[in-house]
C-alpha cells in the first residue's frame, strides 16, 4: 500500500461571504490572531507527515504564494534588530513543506478544483484539506484519516454530527454500519433538502482519497449548485469500492462564514496571553449590549 505523502488544499474560491474584504485579499489569508487561516491548514498537513502540498489557487491569490515564500529583506531586517522570535515565526511558514501551486482558471466547484491536481497526484493516495475548517486536535485530524486509510486501504472522509436544521449546508453521509467512530458509507447526498434524510453525519473538510476518484471527476458531471461536486464523485467510487467516514477527534471551527470566523478568533484569543485582558473586556461588552 502506498503511503499518503501528498495533499491538496483548494483555495480558489472568491470568498463572497467576506466581501468587500476579499475583493483584493484572499479569504484564506484572513488571520486568526497573527496567523492566516491557510497556515493552520498547512501546519496540520505537515504535522501528519505530508511532504508535498499543492494549493489550488485562482485570480488575486498571489498573497498565498508570497506568504509561504521566503522574504529575505524582512528576515534580514528582523535579524539585524535581534527580533529572534518574530524571525522564527516568519521562517516557520516557509519551511513547513514543499508547496506547489496550480491555478483553477474558472470556479467550477470543489470537484473541478481537485481534478486540476491530477497530474501532481498521479497514481498515489492523497489528502484533501479544505480551508474553511480549522481542527484543533491532539492528533491532527488528517493524520487520523490517514491511519484509517492504512487499515482499510480505501477512501476515508472526515465527519462530524451536526444539528438537523444544518444538514442542508453540508454533504451528508448515510451509513450502512458503524463501529465506534468508523462508518461504512451507504450513500452521500450533497446539501440535501430539509427532511430528505434522517442522517446528521456531515462531511467536514478532510479526506483521504484513492486516485480512482479522478476517473469520475474527469467526466465533469454537474451536480448541486450547478458545480462539479467532489461528493458526487466519491459516491461513484463507493458504488464499486467501500468508502468509509471517520468521526475524527478534536474541535472543528468553521471559519468559512463571518460568525464562525469571529467565534474562532475569540476562542483562540482566549487561549493566548490576551486572556487576562480579554475577559474583562468581553464582560464589559456583554453588559453594554445586554
Encode pLDDT of 3-28 as tens digits.
Answer: 999 999 999 888 888 889 888 889 99
pLDDT for the residue numbered 190: 83
Proportion of the chain above pLDDT 90, given as a percent:
70
Alpha-carbon gap, residue 221 to 39, rounded angstroms:
32
Supply the pLDDT for residue 109: 84
At 77, list the grid cell.
Answer: 531586517
Q: Which string of DSSP letters, residue by residue, matches the chain?
A: -----EEEEE-----GGGTTGGGTS-GGG-EETTEEHHHHHHHHHHHTT--EEEEEE-TT-HHHHHHHS--HHHHHHHHHTT-HHHHHHHHHHHTSSEEEEEE-SS---HHHHHHTTHHHHTTS-EEEE-TTEEEE-SS-HHHHHHHHHHHHSS-EEEEEE--GGGGGGSEEEEEEEEETTEEEEEEEEESPPTTS----EEEEEEEEE-TTHHHHHTT----GGGS--HHHHHHHHHTTS--EEEE-SSEEEE-SSHHHHHHHHHHHHHTSTTHHHHHHHHHHHHHHH-
pLDDT band at residue 105 under the 50/70/90 scheme: confident
Grid cell 491548514 is found at: 41
- What's this model's pTM, rounded to 2 decimal places? 0.92
Which is more confident, 184 or 290?
184
Domains and CATH numbers, the chain: 6-255 (3.90.550.10), 257-290 (no CATH)
pLDDT at 280 over 80: yes
Per-residue pLDDT tens over the stretch 115-143: 999 999 999 999 999 988 999 999 999 99
Which pLDDT value is given to residue 68? Answer: 93
Mean pLDDT of 223-250: 88
Please report which confidence band the pLDDT of residue 88 belongs to, taking 50, 70 and 90 as the band edges.
very high
pLDDT at 261 over 90: yes
pLDDT of residue 195: 79
Task: Say yes or no to pLDDT of 144 above 80.
Answer: yes
Give the closest residue to 12 by CA, choosing from 79, 54, 58.
Answer: 58
pLDDT of amino acid 221: 72
pLDDT at 222: 76
Q: Supply the pLDDT for residue 82.
A: 93
Q: Are 228 and 186 within 8 A, CB to CB?
A: no
Nearest to 142 by CA among 157, 154, 120: 157
**Per-residue confidence (pLDDT) for residue 53, from 0 to 100:** 96
Q: Is the predicted pLDDT of residue 227 greater than 80, yes or no?
A: no
Facing residues of 117 across strands?
none
213 has pLDDT over 90? yes
Percentage of the chain exceeding pLDDT 70: 99
Kindly state the cell numbers that stand for 187. Answer: 450513500
Task: Give yes or no for residue 226 having a pLDDT over 80.
Answer: no
**Local confidence band at 267 (pLDDT 50, 70, 90 cut-offs):** very high
For all residues of the chain together, what is the average pLDDT?
A: 91
Task: Give the per-residue pLDDT at 247.
Answer: 96
Amino acid at each position: 500500500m502506498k503511503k499518503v505523502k501528498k495533499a491538496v488544499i483548494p483555495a480558489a474560491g472568491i470568498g463572497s461571504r467576506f466581501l468587500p474584504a476579499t475583493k483584493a485579499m484572499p479569504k484564506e489569508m484572513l488571520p486568526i490572531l497573527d496567523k492566516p487561516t491557510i497556515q493552520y491548514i498547512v501546519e496540520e498537513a505537515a504535522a501528519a507527515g505530508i511532504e508535498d502540498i499543492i494549493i489550488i489557487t485562482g485570480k488575486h491569490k498571489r498573497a498565498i504564494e508570497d506568504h509561504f515564500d521566503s522574504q529575505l529583506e524582512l528576515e534580514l531586517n528582523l535579524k539585524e534588530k535581534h527580533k529572534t522570535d518574530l524571525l522564527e515565526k516568519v521562517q516557520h511558514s516557509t519551511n513547513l513543506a514543499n508547496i506547489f501551486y496550480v491555478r483553477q482558471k474558472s470556479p467550477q466547484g470543489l470537484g473541478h478544483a481537485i481534478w486540476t491536481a491530477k497530474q501532481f497526484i498521479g497514481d498515489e493516495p492523497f489528502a484533501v484539506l479544505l480551508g474553511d475548517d480549522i481542527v484543533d486536535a491532539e492528533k491532527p485530524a488528517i493524520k487520523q484519516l490517514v491511519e484509517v486509510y492504512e487499515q482499510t486501504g480505501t477512501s476515508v472522509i472526515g465527519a462530524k454530527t451536526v444539528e438537523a436544521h444544518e444538514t442542508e449546508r453540508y454533504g451528508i453521509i448515510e451509513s450502512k454500519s458503524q463501529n465506534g467512530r468508523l462508518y461504512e458509507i451507504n450513500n452521500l447526498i450533497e446539501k440535501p433538502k430539509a427532511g430528505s434524510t434522517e442522517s446528521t453525519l456531515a462531511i467536514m473538510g478532510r479526506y483521504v482519497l484513492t486516485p480512482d476518484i479522478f476517473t469520475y471527476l474527469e467526466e465533469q458531471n454537474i451536480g448541486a449548485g450547478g458545480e462539479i461536486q467532489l461528493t458526487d464523485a466519491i459516491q461513484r467510487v463507493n458504488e464499486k469500492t467501500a468508502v468509509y467516514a471517520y468521526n475524527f477527534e478534536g474541535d472543528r471551527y468553521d471559519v468559512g462564514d463571518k460568525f464562525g470566523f469571529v467565534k474562532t478568533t475569540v476562542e483562540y484569543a482566549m487561549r493566548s496571553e490576551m486572556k487576562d485582558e480579554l475577559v474583562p473586556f468581553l464582560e464589559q461588552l456583554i453588559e453594554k449590549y445586554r
